[in-house]
Amino acid sequence: MSGACRSTTLTSDPAARLFVALDVETLADAEALLDRLDGVNLDVNLDGPGPSNVVAPGVKIGTQLFTAAGPTAVEHAQKRGRRVFLDLKYHDIPNTVAGAVREATRLGVFMLDVHASGGFAMMRAAADAATKAAADFGVVRPLVIGVTVLTSLDRKALPLDLGVAGSVESHVLRLAERARDAGLDGCVASAREIGLLRGALGPKWVIVAPGMRPEQAQLRPGGDRGAMSGPSRPKEDDQARTATPRAAISAGADYIVVGRPIIAAPDPVAAVRAVLDEIASA
């Protein structure tokens, strides 16, 4: 962990632990989805006794929407009161990544990520840039987390595509430990590695789990083929290491990211509520 404080203390409220992936083609598509999801705001008290705050699931803005709409996508989500996980997976030389993290921090995002495979110096530069930028701009420092092994990869792919011997679990742990040593706040990993990570890195290490597949069959990608049509919503499921939201939270995930099972559902609001029910019951 770096010297800076975390952006927030973890709450047990289900909505605060969910990020909906806005993996859509245009800003208009994102706005339409957010219009529908405004119905799942929940009244909870995050600060103990006193007035409650309205909390809504956060949103993940990745490379597709950010390439199409740029920082405007972040700003529009924030105006709706959404916490933003900026999922651009920075992976470049340290100076370039530091500059990108500085601008992401200026935007006021809640969390951002870099590829842990970018190396110690790059990760250290990212952590330091977030701390300095937060002080310079007078904003809350975002969580800076490291992407370990993409959930589309499995053990067969490690040696073939990455030249990495050994298991996925051992490689995830190795990258996460380097991320910790470099000053990052946590990592992205599949639910299958959460137990190992939590045991090795402790309760303060932030773990974000993508690749979620809800228990209700009708919410799974492919469960409603009609809902999966269109260029933004491919019919194929390219995730190799998946889990249910309940399993991920039970294993020790701090946050989960759910995309296609929500945005491709006939009723996204019902899909979100089903995921929140899984989180609450974990």
Residue-wise over 226-242: b if at least 16 C-beta within 10 A, else e? ebbeeebbeeeeebbbb
200 — phi, psi (to 5°)?
A: -85, -35
CA 279 from centroid of its chain's CA atoms: 15
Amino acid at site 141: R
- The three-state secondary structure class of 222 is coil
Q: Please state, in angstroms and rounded to a whole number, the distance separating the CA atoms of residues 4 and 105.
A: 13
Q: H helices of the chain, where? A: 27-37, 63-69, 71-79, 94-106, 120-137, 157, 168-182, 194-201, 245-251, 260-263, 268-281
Adjacent-strand bridge partners of 87? 62
Element of type H or E holding 55? strand 53-55
Catalytic residues: 89
